[in-house]
Every structure is written in structure tokens, then in C-alpha cells.
């Protein structure tokens, strides 16, 4: 069988250049839709906007929107993933400024708790009601979106264990439990027995998480005792 002749170098360069240009244009269009949705959430203080509002603000076409997104849900998911990725980067950078591994982990927990508390700004809207809706309907998408945060917390827990300030365990599993605890506590307003609102503080969340990750791990194959 005769081998196909190799393309000239100029042709390969031309194709690669064309592909890069098309990719760049697509990224710019997608970013315009994301920026428009972000602005609408910031103005409304809610994720209750329409696809047509996003299209109008982006000054692009509805057809173009559906080339990149299946609908509003996928657009919000993109914003959610972007918000979590940025939060992970910011938490990692802030924690890196702490030489004490336990202080670094505490800072990460408290930063995440503050960001996940209900509020009108865009990150809080995405961390809040939309995240809870997503968790119920699309748990696998939630797991994917949280991967950057999970990695950061697993690294911090492993660092603390290596320093001997907490017991060695399973960092990624511990990180997953910490994330669930912090984000659920942030969304739950908390109420006392007499009905008065009593929101859980970042310090309370940290101390609760510390108690969970600093104790000895359960024996393999056996449930932990109370």
C-alpha cells in the first residue's frame, strides 16, 4: 500500500493558523455570552434572566448562542465552573502565604465559607441556589465543577498531615467531606430553638471541620465509633 504523500510545510502552517484563528473567535464569542450573563446576575441579584436577554446584551445572535450552549442551564454551569476555578486559585494563593499548615487550612475553610454564604453578588448566587439545584439534578456535573477546589483542599490537608498537626488519612476523601460541610453550612441560615436566626460563623465551621479531620482515622473495614 502506497503511503500518502506528506503535505508541504506551508500547507500545514496555513491549516494550523486557520484553526487557531477559528478557535480564538469561538472563545471570544463564548466569553461575550459569559460576560453578559455575569452582568445580568450582578444587576438583578438573581439568576432569573432569559437567554434572549443574554443574546441582546452580547450583541450576538440566538443562533450563535445555541452553537455553544444547549440552553440557559449550560450557560449557568459554565459560569459556576468558572467561579469555582477562580475561587480555588484565590484560596490556594492565600493559603500559600501561611507557613503554618494548620493556619493555611483554616484560612481556606473560612474563605470558602464566606464565599458560599447567600448574597446578591454573582459568585454567591452561583454558589447558592443554582448550586443546590444542580446538586439535585446533575450530581456528576457538580463533582466535575468542584474538582479544582477539591484538589486545593486535598493538598492542604495532606500538607497538614505531613507536618504532623493532624492525623494522616485519605486527603481527597477528607477534602470532599470538608467541602460538603462548609458549603452546606454556608447555605443553611441556622436557627435556635426559640426561632431566632443564628447563622453559623466561619470560626464555628472551622472548628467543626478540624474536629473531623484531626482525630485518628477509623480502622480499615470497620465503622468509626461515636
pLDDT at 1: 53
* Residue 12 pLDDT > 80: no
Residue 176 grid coordinates = 470532599
- Highest average pLDDT, of 2-16, 39-53, 115-129, comes from 39-53
Grid cell of 187 as nine digits: 447555605
pTM of the model: 0.76
Q: Looking up cell 452553537, which residue turns up?
A: 67
Mean pLDDT taken over the chain: 83
Q: Is 194's pLDDT higher than 60?
A: no
Q: Which of 8-17, 31-40, 86-95, 169-178 has the lowest mean pLDDT?
A: 8-17
DSSP state of 100: S
- Please name each of the domains of the chain with its CATH number: 16-69 (1.10.10), 71-216 (1.10.357.10)
Determine contact, residues 171/105, Cβ cutoff 8 Å.
no
**pLDDT on residue 174:** 94
Q: 95: closest CA among 77, 82, 108?
A: 108
> pLDDT class for 219, splitting at 50, 70, 90?
very low
Percent of the chain clearing pLDDT 90 (strictly above): 43
* Confidence grade of residue 191 (pLDDT, cut at 50, 70, 90): very low
Predicted confidence at residue 4, as pLDDT, reads 60
Amino acid at each position: 500500500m502506497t503511503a500518502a504523500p506528506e503535505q508541504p510545510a506551508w500547507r500545514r502552517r496555513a491549516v494550523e493558523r486557520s484553526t487557531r484563528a477559528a478557535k480564538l473567535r469561538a472563545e471570544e464569542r463564548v466569553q461575550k455570552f459569559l460576560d453578559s450573563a455575569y452582568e445580568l446576575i450582578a444587576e438583578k441579584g438573581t439568576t432569573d434572566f432569559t437567554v434572549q436577554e443574554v443574546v441582546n446584551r452580547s450583541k450576538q445572535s440566538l443562533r450563535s448562542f445555541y452553537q455553544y450552549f444547549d440552553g440557559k442551564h449550560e450557560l449557568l454551569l459554565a459560569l459556576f465552573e468558572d467561579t469555582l476555578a477562580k475561587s480555588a486559585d484565590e484560596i490556594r494563593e492565600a493559603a500559600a502565604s501561611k507557613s503554618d499548615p494548620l493556619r493555611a487550612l483554616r484560612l481556606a475553610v473560612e474563605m470558602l465559607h464566606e464565599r458560599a454564604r447567600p448574597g446578591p453578588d454573582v459568585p454567591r448566587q452561583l454558589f447558592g441556589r443554582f448550586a443546590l439545584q444542580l446538586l439535585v439534578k446533575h450530581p456528576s456535573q457538580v463533582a466535575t465543577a468542584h474538582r479544582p477546589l477539591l484538589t486545593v483542599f486535598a493538598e492542604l490537608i495532606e500538607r497538614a498531615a505531613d507536618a504532623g498537626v493532624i492525623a494522616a488519612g485519605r486527603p481527597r476523601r477528607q477534602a470532599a467531606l470538608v467541602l460538603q460541610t462548609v458549603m452546606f453550612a454556608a447555605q443553611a441560615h441556622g436557627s435556635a430553638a426559640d426561632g431566632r436566626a443564628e447563622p453559623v460563623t466561619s470560626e464555628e465551621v472551622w472548628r467543626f471541620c478540624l474536629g473531623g479531620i484531626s482525630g485518628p482515622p477509623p480502622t480499615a473495614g470497620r465503622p468509626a465509633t461515636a
